């Protein structure tokens, strides 16, 4: 395979139709190694392209005026593969679009929280392009795949000039739109452990419309049941903190307790207390905190119902 070369090394701006157009090179490498080299050489002025449903909008809107190279991930095999083995778990390539996730029967059964997220991001057209990898790397607090991935104990597999490293998804985002990726690094895939028997999960969000909106708040939950007792649980929240928020204290508090309304009420209250939202056009602090309580209880109840089916 010929090495993918970057033809243009300089950023150019030129005027057309009264506006300033910003020249951006496009390159489509065939391996992670090539992509990392291109990203490293660009020294912060390149972005990886997955589905483009965030990136193209942002480039057009002028958010990345310093970007002069787009590195396409669609020809890199590791970014586009889904591998699943009931013993070893699931690995999703960083550029795999949502429709391939919910279109996979084995994943639908084993990872129900991921399916909830994949089926509500945007609409059918967006789901044809949008990836969980792009959602994670975009790193908005409202990213709908991120709480579900945290609930499913996901790990981000990163490649960079110094080799590979692995970061728990709850530690990946560092602020609104920022994350742990350093210069020359890219997300290759996301891995999920094989679910055990008695496992159930869910993601739900609140939006004022039925679809095509940004979460006012969201809750991703998972549970492992031993009979009617909660063996372990994970809860993560969307849009109520500077990053997607993993509330590990909820799992610690409800493990060993009965899977009943009192326990869910305790979890909901803890989610409400942990949230540190802002007031904006979509909701007030009080409204969002209230939603954390309601969504956490409802989401955990669905996770429990699914866990019982899976016992």
Ligand X SMILES: Cc1cc2nc3c(=O)[nH]c(=O)nc-3n(C[C@H](O)[C@H](O)[C@H](O)COP(=O)(O)OP(=O)(O)OC[C@H]3O[C@@H](n4cnc5c(N)ncnc54)[C@H](O)[C@@H]3O)c2cc1C
Query: In the chain, how long is the greatest CA-to-CA distance?
Result: 68
| Segment lying near ligand X (by CB under 6 A), choices 126-134, 148-156, 241-249, 302-310 | 126-134
For position 265 contacting ligand X by CB under 6 A, the verdict is: no
CB closer to ligand X out of 132 and 199: 132
For position 54 contacting ligand X by CB under 6 A, the verdict is: yes
Question: How far is residue 148 from each of residues 5, 168, 245, measured CA to CA in Å?
Answer: 37, 13, 11
Cα-based angle 270, 276, 278 (whole degrees, multiple of 5): 140
Minimum distance from residue 262 beta carbon to ligand X (Å) = 32
For position 251 contacting ligand X by CB under 6 A, the verdict is: no
CB closer to ligand X out of 179 and 263: 179
Minimum distance from residue 258 beta carbon to ligand X (Å) = 34
Minimum distance from residue 119 beta carbon to ligand X (Å) = 10
CB closer to ligand X out of 47 and 306: 47
| Segment lying near ligand X (by CB under 6 A), choices 127-135, 148-156, 252-260, 261-269 | 127-135
Q: How many CB atoms lie within 10 A of CB 201?
A: 29
Question: How far is residue 194 from each of residues 24, 85, 105, 213, 232, measured CA to CA in Å?
Answer: 41, 8, 15, 31, 15
Q: 171, 150 in Cβ contact below 8 A?
A: no
Out of 32, 38, 42, 50, which residue is the one contacting ligand X (CB under 6 A)?
A: 50
DSSP state at residue 193? P
CB closer to ligand X out of 239 and 307: 239
The beta-strand segments (E) located in the chain are: 13-16, 19-22, 25-27, 46-49, 69-72, 82-85, 89-93, 155-160, 163-168, 173-175, 178-179, 186-192, 199-206, 217-226, 229-238, 245-246
Q: Give residues 131-190 in contact with ligand X (rule: CB under 6 A).
A: 131, 133-135, 137-138, 143-144, 181, 186-187
CB closer to ligand X out of 114 and 307: 114
* Residues of the shown chain interacting with ligand X in the complex, contacts defined by CB under 6 A: 47-55, 57, 73, 79, 94, 121-122, 126, 129-131, 133-135, 137-138, 143-144, 181, 186-187, 212
């Amino acid at each position: 395979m010929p090495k993918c070369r970057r033809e243009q090394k300089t950023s150019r701006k030129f005027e057309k139709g009264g506006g300033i157009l910003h020249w951006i090179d496009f390159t489509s490498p065939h391996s992670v190694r090539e992509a990392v080299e291109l990203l490293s050489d660009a020294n912060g002025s390149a972005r990886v392209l997955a589905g483009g449903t965030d990136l193209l909008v942002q480039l057009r809107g002028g958010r990345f005026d310093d970007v002069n190279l787009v590195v396409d991930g669609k020809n890199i095999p590791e970014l586009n593969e889904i591998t699943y083995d009931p013993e070893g778990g699931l690995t999703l390539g960083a550029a795999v679009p949502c429709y391939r996730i919910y279109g996979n029967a084995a994943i639908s059964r084993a990872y129900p929280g991921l399916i909830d997220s994949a089926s509500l991001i945007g609409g059918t057209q967006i789901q044809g392009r949008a990836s969980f990898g792009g959602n994670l790397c975009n790193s908005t607090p409202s990213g709908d795949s991120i709480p579900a991935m945290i609930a499913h104990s996901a790990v981000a597999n990163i490649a960079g000039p110094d080799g590979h490293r692995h970061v728990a998804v709850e530690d990946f985002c560092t602020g609104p739109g920022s994350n742990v990726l350093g210069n020359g690094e890219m997300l290759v895939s996301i891995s999920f452990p094989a679910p055990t028997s008695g496992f159930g999960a869910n993601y739900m969000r609140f939006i004022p419309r039925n679809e095509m909106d940004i979460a006012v708040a969201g809750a991703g939950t998972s549970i492992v049941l031993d009979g009617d007792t909660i063996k372990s649980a994970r809860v993560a929240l969307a849009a109520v903190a500077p990053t997607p928020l993993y509330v590990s204290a909820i799992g610690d508090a409800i493990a060993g307790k009965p899977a009943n309304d009192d326990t869910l009420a305790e979890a909901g209250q803890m989610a409400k207390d942990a949230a540190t939202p802002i007031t904006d056009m979509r909701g007030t602090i009080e409204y969002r905190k209230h939603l954390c309580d309601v969504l956490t209880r409802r989401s955990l109840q669905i996770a429990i119902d699914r866990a019982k089916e899976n016992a």
